[in-house]
Amino acid sequence: MKPSLAKGTRDFTAEEVSRRKYIINILQKNFELFGFQPLETPSFENLSTLTGKYGEEGDRLIFKILNSGDYTSKVNQEDWENKSHQKLTSQISDKALRYDLTVPFARFVAMNHGKLTFPYKRYQIQPVWRADRPQKGRFREFYQCDADVVGSESLFQEVDLVQLYLKSFADLKVPVTIHLNNRKILSGLAEYAGITDKLIDFTVALDKLDKIGKEGVVKELLEREISQESIDKLDFLFTQSDDALENLLQLKEKFVGNEVGTKGVEELEFVLTKSISLGVDIQNLVFDITLARGLDYYTGAIFEVKADEVQMGSIGGGGRYDNLTEVFGVKNIPGIGISFGLDRIYLVVEELGLFPEEATSKVEYLFANFGGEETLEALKLIMQLREKGISAELYPENAKIGKQFTYAEKKGIKNLVFLGEEELKNGNVTFKNLEAGEQKTVSLEEFLG
């Protein structure tokens, strides 16, 4: 059988794993710096936990898991013959791989709310799975790095998450822009245009603006049975200025008497003005009135982060989801969270050449194997280096020195160490720096530092 990978998945080499760890370590350090605590949840959940939380399109991308054993034995024959997919799914699958980290987190909070101290701040770095069409920067298995706060309605949480985003990407040396919107503004726009009953259709289409353009969005709105008259009222959405506060002022005028829209404008204005007061450059914040993110569970602020110097989709996103735990029978636990897209961040850092040399794990010393007593003495010295936290290994066979050189070069090992009969007699160590091509002999004491 010819070996192959499942579409949308990848193997990671030693260099890639080390570089991913570099990004994760920076994110984890900042999560903890901002007061978040770690949490891990299972890779799969009950199917009922996940469905109905991501909108119509999201539900289609959930990876279902077939029930174990003879999963077809309980299938209703009529449903099988009629190819009633929804009914069939419920009979052959009751579990699914997690689609994101937010819904499992909400399930955890609902199950443990009596034991948690609120506001509860958690971060989570784990893989998720989506049955999406693979393309550049989009995979079927990928990591999310989330930070969420539940149990607080304070808008200072939004301000704090803006700070978390900017500090993390500054540490990675990646210039970014944070795009912001508010779900209440979108609800206000739907009310303003007289399409409140079409809110989800409206936001799903609007969220595709950067992919399909104005004409594509208008076409989709018409297909979703939104009238031309309503679309004309919303035409100003496609001609926003670069001044976020000026755009908010324009909305205030349109939302006179529109309670939900006005509330959204006030909330977003608070986040923008307070962030600016804390020293955030307004150039790093964009009020993107077309930003919807297409998820049903957002109720307030919506975030999306884009790299300034690389053509890539969003490398982070999130928002407020005040009603999420309610579907699990627990009310009045407001929440807000953001996510960092590890895989896309990796591609951006790589394209910009920003990975430092130390982000790649390399062996510092390879000891040549001369056989006999020298081998045992080399192993003793290797043990002393490892106790000092210095990586070292012995070439396993007493092979020709050329072969040992080739191994060291191919593996990217920095130094090849010779501990032969002459060195043992004189208490010395000879080593060659393979990067500089320099060879020197030093005393054992000097070598161990």
Q: What is the 3-state secondary structure (H, E, C) of 191-242?
A: HHCCCHHHHHHHHHHHCCHHHHHHHHHHHHHHHCCCCHHHHHHCHHHHHCCC
100 is in an annotated binding site: yes
Which tops the pLDDT comparison, 174 or 289? 174
101 is in an annotated binding site: yes
pLDDT tens track for 418-427: 999 999 999 9
pLDDT of residue 61: 94
For tokens 């896309």, the residue is 344
User: 438 falls in which pLDDT band (50, 70, 90)?
Assistant: very high
144 is in an annotated binding site: yes
Whether 294 has a pLDDT exceeding 60, the answer reads no
User: 379 falls in which pLDDT band (50, 70, 90)?
Assistant: very high
pLDDT tens track for 212-259: 888 888 898 888 888 898 888 888 888 877 788 888 988 998 899 999
Whether 134 has a pLDDT exceeding 70, the answer reads yes
From 21, 42, 45, select the one nearest 93 (Cα to Cα).
45
Which tops the pLDDT comparison, 179 or 199? 179
Q: In the predicted model, what is the mean pLDDT of the chain?
A: 90
298 is in an annotated binding site: yes
Domains of the chain: 14-351 (3.30.930.10), 362-448 (3.40.50.800)
pTM: 0.85
Whether 82 has a pLDDT exceeding 70, the answer reads no
For residues 43 and 256, what is the distance between their CA atoms, to the nearest angstrom? Answer: 47
102 is in an annotated binding site: yes
For residues 298 and 296, what is the distance between their CA atoms, to the nearest angstrom? Answer: 6
- DSSP 3-state assignment of 79? helix
Which tops the pLDDT comparison, 94 or 73? 94
- Both tokens of 293, joined, read 């993110």
Q: 357 Cβ partners below 8 Å, 6+ apart?
A: none
For residues 218 and 216, what is the distance between their CA atoms, to the nearest angstrom? Answer: 6
pLDDT of residue 86: 59
